Structure 1
Amino acid sequence: MQTEEMIPADEFCMHHNIELSFIYALQQSGLVEIIHAEEKIFVPVNELNRLEKLVRLYYEMDINLEGIETITYLLQRIHDLQQQIVQLNSRLGMYETE
Structure 2
Amino acid sequence: MEVIDLISITTFCTHYNVPTTFINQLEDYELIEIVVSEQDQYIKVTQINEVEKMMRLHYDLNINLEGLDAVYNLLKRVETLQSEITSLNNKLRLYED
- Per the normalisation by structure 2, the TM-score is 0.90
**Cα deviation, residue 3, structure 1:** 1.3
Q: Given the superposition, is the C-alpha separation of residues 38 and 91 from structure 1 closer, same or farther in structure 2, using an over 3 Å criterion?
A: same
Q: What residue is the counterpart of 2:39 in the other structure?
A: 39
The 2-side partners of 1:30 and 1:17 are apart by 22
**Which residue pairs with 1:63 in the alignment?**
63
Percentage of identical aligned residues: 37
- Highest Rg: 1 or 2? 1
Look up the SS of the partner of 1:50 in the other structure: helix
Residue in 2 aligned with 1:15? 15
- 3-state SS of 2:43 partner: strand
Report the Cα offset of residue 94 of structure 1.
2.7
Q: Distance in 1 between matches of 2:3 and 2:94?
A: 47
Distance 2:32 2:57 in 1: 14
The runs of 5 or more residues in structure 1 that have no matched partner are: none
Aligned to 1:81: 81
Structure 1 SS opposite 2:33: coil
Amino acid at match of 1:86: T
Q: Which amino acid aligns with 1:4?
A: I
Aligned to 1:53: 53
Q: Distance in 2 between matches of 1:47 and 1:85?
A: 25
1:93 aligns with 2:93: yes
Unaligned runs of 5+ in 2: none
